[in-house]
Amino acid sequence: MKLVRMRPGHGDVLLAEGDVEAAEDEERLVEEFRRQLDKGMWAAVPTSTGPRREALMVRDFGEVPRDAERVIFFPPAAGG
Amino acid sequence: MSAPLLVLLVVLGSLAVAGFGPTAAERARLALDSRRRARAVARTPRELAYDPGRERRAERKALELLRSAVGEEEFAMYGSLGFLRVRGRARDGREYGYLIYPHRPIVAYDAETGELLSEYCVGFPDRAETAFGSRLPDADDVLAKWMSLHGDERGLIAGANMHLPGRQVDPGQVRRDLRRLREWEGRSRPLRIAA
């Protein structure tokens, strides 16, 4: 699983990567996940059911599907 | 030196200080300010300057992320039309849709009649890391809206500023875009069936 974050002037940057089945990796992923949420970022997981693509907004690492390839962090929405 | 000459020099000196003193002091202050500004600019890291190459690389990365999240078909839609469409269904069964443009309001429309319903002004300014400004690459902005609409439509819409159609996005352009979308889908459907 990869945790990436959208950044102005960069596109996405890799924050952490690891195997959620390996305890040490999972701990690192959870820590980074929490750090991003503490910074106020939103987190989404792209999902697919056959050809249909959707996304799941997550607020806790426990909500991330175990087989998710990546979690994307991005700044929170602001009314324009 | 004679006393009258001395008095004259003192008087002239006082006049010079009174007449030109503030100007000279002002000039000195401006010079100091200017030097401070120059030093501040020199301290600014070179990477903070606008770099079109960096922006292009960022946009390319953002497009790849968009492709990986929305899939080939929607990515092709964005590549061909410059926007994405997200479908929705109201409680009464009516179908509606959103058009997602980069860095412009989301436009809602009635999927059956094509009537424009509203504009939702929403952005994702990055206030945490401002070294390169707060604006995400175009494709990242589109993906952020797409994921938010899919993942928490009500939350996104509730936080957006809603306006009548035409406030920021030209309704004529949106109608043309809806026509282009229908045409694009008409062209790509036979390809999908063949595939």
The complex's ipTM works out to 0.96
Q: Judge: B144–A77 Cβ closer than 8 Å, yes or no.
A: yes
Q: Are strands A70-74 and A2-7 parallel, antiparallel or unpaired?
A: parallel
Of B61, B62, B148, the CB nearest to A57: B148
Does B165 lie in the same domain as B126? yes
Task: Name the pTM for this structure.
Answer: 0.80
Q: Judge: A78–B132 Cβ closer than 8 Å, yes or no.
A: no
Beta bridge partners of A54: A47
pLDDT tens digits, residue range A2-54?
A: 999 999 999 999 999 999 999 999 999 999 999 999 999 999 999 998 888 99
Q: Judge: A53–B129 Cβ closer than 8 Å, yes or no.
A: no
Tell how far CA B105 is from the center of its chain: 11
Does B13 lie in the same domain as B60? no
Structurally, chain B folds into a number of domains equal to 2
pLDDT means per 10 residues, chain B with 195 residues, are 67 58 62 64 57 90 97 96 96 95 98 96 89 92 98 95 96 97 87 55
Of B143, B50, B67, B161, residue with least CA distance to A75: B143
Q: For residue B144, give the chain A residue with the closest CA.
A: A74
- Cα angle A66, A49, A6 (rounded to 5 degrees) comes to 60
pLDDT of B14 reads 62
pLDDT tens digits, residue range B66-105?
A: 999 999 999 999 999 999 999 999 999 999 999 999 999 9
Q: Residue B23: which domain range?
A: 3-44
Q: For residue A57, give the chain B residue with the closest CA.
A: B151
Does B59 lie in the same domain as B34? no
A78: chain B residues, CB-CB within 8 Å: 122-125, 159
pLDDT of B40 reads 55
Domain regions of chain A by residue span: 2-74
Does B61 lie in the same domain as B7? no
Q: How many A-B residue pairs are in contact by the CB < 8 A criterion?
A: 126
Q: Judge: A9–B146 Cβ closer than 8 Å, yes or no.
A: no
Does B109 lie in the same domain as B155? yes
Does B102 lie in the same domain as B13? no
Does B59 lie in the same domain as B32? no
pLDDT of B72 reads 94
Does B105 lie in the same domain as B23? no
Q: For residue B70, give the chain A residue with the closest CA.
A: A53
Of B140, B146, B160, the CB nearest to A6: B140
pLDDT of B23 reads 61
Does B85 lie in the same domain as B67? yes
One-letter amino acid of B77: M
Contacts 24+ apart (CB under 8 A), B101-105: B101/B142, B101/B169, B102/B138, B102/B139, B102/B141, B102/B142, B103/B135, B103/B138, B103/B141, B104/B168, B104/B169, B105/A80, B105/B160, B105/B163, B105/B167, B105/B168, B105/B169
pLDDT of B118 reads 97
B158 touches chain A (CB under 8 A): no
> In chain A, which residue ranges form alpha helices assigned H by DSSP?
23-38
What token pair was written down for B49?
Answer: 């300057």
A interface with B, Cβ–Cβ < 8 A, is 4, 6-12, 39-42, 44, 46, 48, 51, 53-57, 70, 72, 74-80
Does B182 lie in the same domain as B101? yes
Does B37 lie in the same domain as B62? no
pLDDT tens digits, residue range B139-154?
A: 999 999 999 999 999 9
Does B120 lie in the same domain as B30? no
